[in-house]
Structures are given as structure tokens and as C-alpha cells.
């Protein structure tokens, strides 16, 4: 779902600002994504809670996508700053999920530390992300081809972007709940130990 959002965003944003080149705009999203991935990885390592970290960033990505839709057209400074921030909050969890899930599943005891199994798990996760990456631009092209005013098409596109982030959050909710229980148990054990 995050790949769908990330690649749909990269495909649609150039349509919303015809004066800028697609490469400039995509680069801004990627710059934000670089910093978002570093921040997400650092926060996940510090907290030992990658699902909670992803969930928090996903929650914050929703208002960022909305803010870009509303305020991105006001000025280039707004558009560029919001694209970087949106890339931070959308691509950060995407990168964390693809790496931490691969590492967690690849080191699962049932796989018996098999390098082949780790490669297979990584390929499955990357392939699943590629499905979203293929769907995003295709869906935005379909919406762009609708016989509707640009503002209505933008509402549909940004609704799909926000919806894909919400769906990713729902799909992560079970892992977020499990990590929250672990953190709660750690907090209680420290509190009673003191």
C-alpha cells in the first residue's frame, strides 16, 4: 500500500504542477524519503518498535498529503517544502517496512538462518511492493483520463493516496498492538523493579 502511495505521488505530482519538471518534483519526494528512512530506522532501533514507528509516521503522512493538496499550489516554496515533508513521512515507513520485515522474517527460527530463505523473503516483500508501484501510476492515469474537472480528479487522486496510507496502517495494526503489549510489559517491569 505504501508503494502504491509513493509511486502514485511521484506520478501525479508532475501533473499538478506543469511548470516544474517531473524529475525535480520526484527528486524532492526522494530527498524527503532519504531523511525519512534514516529517521525511521534510527527511531525503530532506539525504541525496538518498528511497527509503532511505521504507524506513527503513517498517521503523520495523512495530514502531509492533505496539506500538499491544499497548500502546495500556493507557492513553489510551499510545494517544495511539502513534497520533501511528504516524502519523509510516506517513504520513511516504506523503507523501514521493506528492510525490517525482511530482517525479522529472515531471522525467524523456522527458517533456520538459511541465506536462501532470507533472499526468498526479501524478494517476496520487494515483489509485493512492486505491485503497489505498478498500480499507483496506472490508477492515476485512469483517473487523469476521466472526463472531470482537474479539481475533481485531484480529489480522487489524493483520496486514493490517503486511503492507501490508511489501509497500510490497518494492515500494520496487529503488529502495532503486539509491540505495544511488549512495551507495556517492559514499562511495568521497570516500574516495579525500581
- pLDDT at position 130 is 76
- Lookup: cell for 63: 495530514
How does pLDDT run across 105-157, given as a tens digit for each residue? 666 777 666 667 777 777 777 777 777 777 877 787 788 788 888 788 888 88
At 113 the pLDDT is 66
- Which parts of the chain fold into alpha helices (H)? 2-16, 22-47, 50-71, 76-96, 102-106, 115-144, 150-193
C-alpha to C-alpha distance for 61 and 2, rounded to whole angstroms: 11
Give the contacts of 151 (CB within 8 A, at least 6 positions apart): none
- Distance between CA 38 and CA 173 in Å, rounded? 23
- At 46-81, the pLDDT tens digits run 998 888 999 999 999 999 989 988 888 788 888 889
Distance set, CA 15 to CA 5, 59, 61, 113, 154 (Å): 16, 26, 21, 46, 10
| Among 37-46, 149-158, 163-172, the least confident range | 149-158
Q: How confident is the prediction for the chain on average, in pLDDT?
A: 81
Amino acid at each position: 500500500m505504501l508503494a502504491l502511495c509513493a509511486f502514485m505521488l511521484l506520478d501525479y505530482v508532475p501533473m499538478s504542477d506543469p511548470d516544474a519538471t517531473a524529475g525535480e518534483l520526484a527528486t524532492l519526494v526522494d530527498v524527503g524519503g532519504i531523511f525519512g528512512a534514516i529517521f525511521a530506522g534510527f527511531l525503530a532501533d532506539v525504541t525496538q518498535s518498528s511497527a509503532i514507528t511505521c504507524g506513527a509516521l503513517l498517521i503523520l503522512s495523512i495530514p502531509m498529503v492533505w496539506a500538499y493538496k491544499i497548500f502546495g499550489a500556493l507557492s513553489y516554496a510551499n510545494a517544495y517544502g511539502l513534497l520533501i515533508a511528504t516524502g519523509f513521512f510516506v517513504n520513511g515507513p516504506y523503507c523501514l517496512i521493506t528492510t525490517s520485515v525482511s530482517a525479522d522474517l529472515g531471522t525467524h527460527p523456522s527458517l533456520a538462518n538459511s541465506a536462501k530463505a532470507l533472499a526468498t523473503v526479501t524478494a517476496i516483500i520487494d515483489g509485493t511492493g512492486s505491485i503497489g508501484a505498478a498500480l499507483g501510476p496506472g490508477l492515476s492515469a485512469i483517473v487523469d483520463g476521466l472526463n472531470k474537472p482537474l479539481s475533481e480528479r485531484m480529489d480522487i487522486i489524493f483520496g486514493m493516496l490517503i486511503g492507501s496510507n490508511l489501509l497500510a496502517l490497518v494492515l500494520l495494526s496487529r503488529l502495532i498492538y503486539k509491540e505495544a503489549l511488549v512495551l507495556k510489559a517492559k514499562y511495568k517491569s521497570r516500574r516495579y523493579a525500581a
